[in-house]
Structure 1
Amino acid sequence: MSESTEQIEVTRNDEAGRYEITVDGELAGFTEFVDHDRQRIFPHTELDETFSGRGLSSVLVRQALADTRAAGQRIVPICPLVARYISKHHDEVGDIVDRATPEALEFLDSR
């Protein structure tokens, strides 16, 4: 079995308001975020079809949520992919997850 030599990197792009995942320097996908008070709201995630089926969305979301924890923020999952990741890894991140409130949704709509 051969080892993968791909360089996978997740970075936070504050200017674009998203975490980006690259494979060998090529943008493979992103998850958007919006900070509101002490919450980081995740409204949308995309992964290029070229990179699907390789677990990259899990890598992206895991690292985005770890960075959110490190920043002292709470997670508000609007994006179904982020919500699904949280439900599967509740023991790891459940303590910093807030439900989406009408106020959070209104805040997103106002942007």
Structure 2
Amino acid sequence: MSQPSTGPIVERVDARHRYEILVDGERAGLAAYRDRGEQRVFHHTEVGDAFAGQGLAALLVQRALADARDSGKRVVPVCSYVAKFLERHDEFADIADPVTPDILRWLEAERD
């Protein structure tokens, strides 16, 4: 008899600057970020093709934003998925900062 699924788990992996969503122990997707002072700059979100259409990206981003809030961070949605999520979920509006040219320059330098 197989064990029932426990549902997706979202973990922050600080060493890799990302949140990962796991389904039955397998990484299904990630939301990459860099911290800039009091801001958590989200720059990329992806979910593997095998896990598409299950609402995992939304769950991943929701939990990542909640964790950022709990950590005292503000969020900057460079990632288009995170930006669209924030447009639809005003419960995070109080911690969202706009993307500025300064942040984009900083992020580019961080990724080099």
Please give the range of the TM-score, normalised by the shorter of the 2 chains: over 0.9
Matched, 1:7 2:11: no
- Tell me the distance in 2 between the aligned counterparts of 1:11 and 1:97: 21
Native 8 Å contact 1:7 1:25 kept in 2 = no
Match of 2:44 in 1: 44
Are the counterparts in 1 of residues 5 and 24 from structure 2 also a CA contact under 8 Å? no
The ranges of structure 1 where at least 4 consecutive aligned residues each deviate by more than 3 angstroms after the TM superposition are none
**How many angstroms does 1:22 deviate by?**
0.5
Unmatched runs of 5 consecutive residues or more in structure 1: none
Give the equivalent residue in structure 1 for 2:81: 81
Q: CA deviation at 1:7?
A: 2.8
Letter in 1 for 2:71: A
RMSD, aligned α-carbons? 1.1
Counterpart amino acid of residue 93 in structure 1: F
Q: Could you tell me how far 1:102 is from its partner in structure 2? A: 1.2
Q: What TM-score, normalized by structure 1, do the two folds share?
A: 0.93
Q: Per-residue deviation at 1:103? A: 1.3
Identity over the aligned pairs, expressed in percent? 44
* 1:40 maps to amino acid: R
1:18-75 deviations in Å (ceiling 9; x for gaps): 0000000000000001000110000001100100100000110000000000011101
Query: How many angstroms apart in 1 are the aligned matches of 2:79 and 2:88?
Result: 15
SS of equivalent to 1:72 = coil
TM superposition score normalised by structure 2:
0.92
**Residues 21-40 of structure 1: pairs in structure 2 closer than 5 A:** 21-40=21-40
Residue 64 of structure 1 pairs with residue 98 of structure 2 = no
Where 1:108 maps in the other structure, the secondary structure is helix
